A = this chain, B = another copy of it.
Amino acid sequence: MKTITSLSQMLKTSLALRKKGKVIGFVPTMGFLHEGHLSLVREAKRKSDVAVVSIFVNPTQFGPEEDFQKYPRDLNRDRKLLQQAKCDFLFCPYQKQIYPPGHSTHVDQEDLTERLEGASRPGHFRGVVTVVAKLFNIVQPDLAFFGQKDAQQVVVIKKMAAELNFPIEIVTCPTVRDQNGLALSSRNAYLNADECRQALSLSEALQKAKDLIRLGEKDPRAVTNTMREVIQKNSSALIEYIALTDAKKLKPVDKIQRDVLISLAVRIGTTRLIDNICLKVNEKVREIRC
């Protein structure tokens, strides 16, 4: 695995690879990698000739009160994990190269970003799509891999990539969970043992929702009420939102049918966690990806 920090070096490498006809698979991350990220890297390896992983804790997607400073970082550990996953190039640019002084260009996706995470975290998606557009231009991938765990992010990036005509296929990979069902997240590192236990209520609530829908429940309020009960049993849990929306436009649904995204954000103590499942509701109910 080769590590690249310079933007121009990365671009030169990408253009040379493309000229040779190599298919580039790209996994943008903020580092502190877990099995979720590594599953993306393995999928990138499967579908491409060359896998490029970026590690960049992007300041513009954090709000002023958020955890940019304390966001966990461990580049040495990340490097070893990526080597084991047979990543070809690790791109870890410096903040000053990505955002030089006076940087004032951004990309915005307006339609899908007012709800859910966008409502809770104003400016978050503007930061996300801007850095992703920049990274797309530097890494020049054919495919880019994102996790279902950040469902709205996937939907927003798919729309951004299509509407700015990036010739890149966006691939959504399944959420990876630990043996208890907790969705892997770099932010799980903030949780103590008791909070870890309480954090299980997110996936429990989602599982319960799925069970209800499998039993024929069509009313989103009945589902969210049950989910709320599951979570509120935990003394440190504070629900930010629970939402049943369609999976494309992310608008609340009146009736559970077709593709439904069930997503939630919950604070466990001081740690903000998100999770979701996306269901295709026909005669059968099955999990799909955004």
Contacts and interface: CB of A to CB of B under 8 A. Distances in A.
B107 A105 contact: yes
Interface centre among A19, A111, A163, A165 (most CB of B within 10 A): A165
Contact of A19 (B21, B110, B133, B160): B21
A104 B163 CA distance: 8
B165 A104 contact: no
B102 A111 contact: yes
A106 interface: yes
Interface residues of A, number: 31
A140 B18 CA distance: 13
Interface in A96-125: 102-112
A185 to B, nearest CB: 27
A249 to B, nearest CB: 8
A96 B94 CA distance: 39
Contact of A104 (B11, B104, B159): B159
B167 A15 contact: yes
Q: Decide if the interface of chain A is mainly helix, strand, loop or mixed.
A: mixed
Interface in A188-208: none
Nearest to A97: B165
Contact of A107 (B19, B102, B164): B164
Given A18-B18, A133-B164, A167-B137, A105 B7 contact: no
A164 B130 CA distance: 8
Contacts of A62: none
Interface in A8-28: 11, 15, 18-19, 21
A187 interface: no
Interface in A160-181: 160, 163-167
B163 A105 contact: yes
A81 to B, nearest CB: 27
A47 to B, nearest CB: 18
Interface centre among A130, A133, A160 (most CB of B within 10 A): A133
Interface in A117-156: 129-130, 133-134, 137-138, 140
Nearest to A160: B105
6 contacts: A7-B165, A105-B107, A105-B159, A105-B163, A106-B107, A108-B108
Interface of A: 7, 11, 15, 18-19, 21, 102-112, 129-130, 133-134, 137-138, 140, 159-160, 163-167
